[in-house]
A and B are shown apart, each in its own frame.
Chain A
Amino acid sequence: MMRICLVFLQIGALSFGGGMAVLSMIAELAVSKYGWIDAKAFSDLVALSEMTPGPIAVNAATFVGMKADGTIGAIAATLCCVAPGMLIAMAMEGLYQKGHGIPAVQKIMSWLRPAVIAVIAYGGLTIFKAAVLPVGTIDILSLSIFIVSVLLFSKTKLKLLPVLLFVGVVGAILRLLF
């Protein structure tokens, strides 16, 4: 238990570069070094992270903690995994509030903003491909849902959640009928 906490503190503190970086650290530590999960469970973990909400780091910590020590292990591993990032993020936000009027900081941020928009756009492209071109050909129903949703979000002030639930259910009914 103690060891799991230490390993996930380490993963939480050193996992720069997002989900894939976390998975490679999990493979190295939880599979090869400590043997908490085997290779088959690791591949399930990757699939489950894709299917369930939440960041891969959190999904992975929950899954490995669960396998190693049950629900308590899942909660402990998750807490340890997010704690280091939280502390650093809080410190950075404090600095940002003090510094963001300074012209030099604005200059630096003006380089970063287009990059962030680009990365978000790429995330959108990935999910668009998964939704509309699931097997390489255009899925007409998904494309129609996409277009209707674009219109809903750009022309109305509707919130995300009602649209998501309504379209999710209506789309599912249509998909199962045709």
Chain B
Amino acid sequence: MESGKIRRMLFTSMVRISAFTLGGGFVIIPLMRKRFVEELGWLEENEMLDYVAMAQSTPGATSVNIAVMIGHRMAGATGSLAAATGAVIPPVAIMCLVSAAYDLMTENPIIQAVLASMRSVIAAMIAVSVISMARSLLASRRAKGMCIAIVCGIALFFVSSSWVLIACLVCGIVEAFLRRDRQ
């Protein structure tokens, strides 16, 4: 694929994805995964997760940083710019409009009903994404156990996800260091 077309696709994909992710944060990641891993086939399942992990340890908005990484991977610095611009335009535009019409949005029953239905669809899409990622990537028993333990830790004890990722990073570095001779 020629790089101009890739940049256009990065931009339009990110515009569409980021226009529909209410709540931000980790909700947008399964949407990006569906687009770039399943629909376009630009990344492997594990690469997507590596980008998420790296973007989490980068300052700023995680979703923008993932977009930047995918853009960089596919089309260098200009690809990053295309993806980041696409990711940022919808929220900025919508925020400008909405802060003007704030009361209308919170009280309009039609808007509220549409938003409520969309939330269920997104929850469903995340559930399917998580199952598909777990099937292809959680091969070992350790990985399965870790995953379940971390979900419980965050949900029940409000452990912050950044600390979990930092702890895992440290464990990974320690293991890589201890086993370096055996490779």
Whether A175 contacts B117 in the complex (CB less than 8 A), given A52-B22, A84-B60, comes out as yes
Q: What residues of chain B lie closer than 8 Å to A96, measured between beta carbons? A: 50-51, 54, 69
- Residue interface mask B87-110, A partner, CB < 8 A = 1: 110111011101100100110011
- Report the minimum CB–CB distance from A66 to chain B (whole Å): 6
A55 & B91 in contact (Cβ 8 Å cutoff)? yes
Whether A122 contacts B69 in the complex (CB less than 8 A), given A19-B25, A53-B20, A115-B168, comes out as no
Q: What residues of chain A lie closer than 8 Å to B96, measured between beta carbons? A: 62, 66, 71, 74
Q: What residues of chain B lie closer than 8 Å to A93, measured between beta carbons? A: 51, 54, 68-69, 72-73, 80
Q: What residues of chain B lie closer than 8 Å to A35, measured between beta carbons? A: none
Whether A16 contacts B59 in the complex (CB less than 8 A), given A86-B68, A116-B52, A132-B123, comes out as yes
Which are the 6 A-B pairs with shortest beta-carbon distances? Answer: A54-B91, A85-B60, A171-B117, A123-B26, A149-B124, A55-B61
A103 partner, pick from B77, B138, B183, beta carbons under 8 A = B183
Whether A113 contacts B46 in the complex (CB less than 8 A), given A54-B94, A88-B59, comes out as yes
Q: What residues of chain B lie closer than 8 Å to A18, measured between beta carbons? A: 25, 56, 62, 161-162
A53 & B165 in contact (Cβ 8 Å cutoff)? no
Q: What residues of chain A lie closer than 8 Å to B57, measured between beta carbons? A: 16
Q: A2 at the A/B interface (Cβ < 8 Å)?
A: no
Interface size on B, as a range, is 35 or more
Q: What residues of chain B lie closer than 8 Å to A125, measured between beta carbons? A: 151, 155
A127 & B94 in contact (Cβ 8 Å cutoff)? no
- Report the minimum CB–CB distance from A23 to chain B (whole Å): 12
Q: What residues of chain A lie closer than 8 Å to B3, measured between beta carbons? A: none
In this complex, what residue of A is CB-closest to B130? A121
Q: What residues of chain A lie closer than 8 Å to B95, measured between beta carbons? A: 48, 52, 54, 58-59, 62-63, 66, 74
Determine the distance from Cα of A86 to Cα of B86 in the docked complex, in whole angstroms: 13
Instruction: Pull 7 A–B residue pairs with CB atoms less than 8 Å apart, ordered by A.
Output: A54-B95, A93-B51, A96-B50, A103-B176, A115-B164, A118-B147, A150-B124
Whether A118 contacts B154 in the complex (CB less than 8 A), given A59-B91, A93-B72, A112-B165, comes out as yes
Q: A13 at the A/B interface (Cβ < 8 Å)?
A: yes
Determine the distance from Cα of A12 to Cα of B118 in the docked complex, in whole angstroms: 30
A52 & B98 in contact (Cβ 8 Å cutoff)? yes
Q: A30 at the A/B interface (Cβ < 8 Å)?
A: no
- Report the minimum CB–CB distance from A48 to chain B (whole Å): 6
Whether A52 contacts B117 in the complex (CB less than 8 A), given A113-B53, A122-B155, comes out as no
A172 & B155 in contact (Cβ 8 Å cutoff)? no
Q: Which of B23, B106, B118, B133 has the largest number of chain A CB atoms within 10 A?
A: B23
Q: B49 at the A/B interface (Cβ < 8 Å)?
A: yes
A114 & B147 in contact (Cβ 8 Å cutoff)? yes
A82 & B50 in contact (Cβ 8 Å cutoff)? no
Q: What residues of chain B lie closer than 8 Å to A121, measured between beta carbons? A: 126, 130, 147, 151
- Report the minimum CB–CB distance from B142 to chain A (whole Å): 8
Determine the distance from Cα of A75 to Cα of B89 in the docked complex, in whole angstroms: 10
Q: B27 at the A/B interface (Cβ < 8 Å)?
A: yes
Whether A114 contacts B130 in the complex (CB less than 8 A), given A109-B53, A119-B150, A125-B151, comes out as no
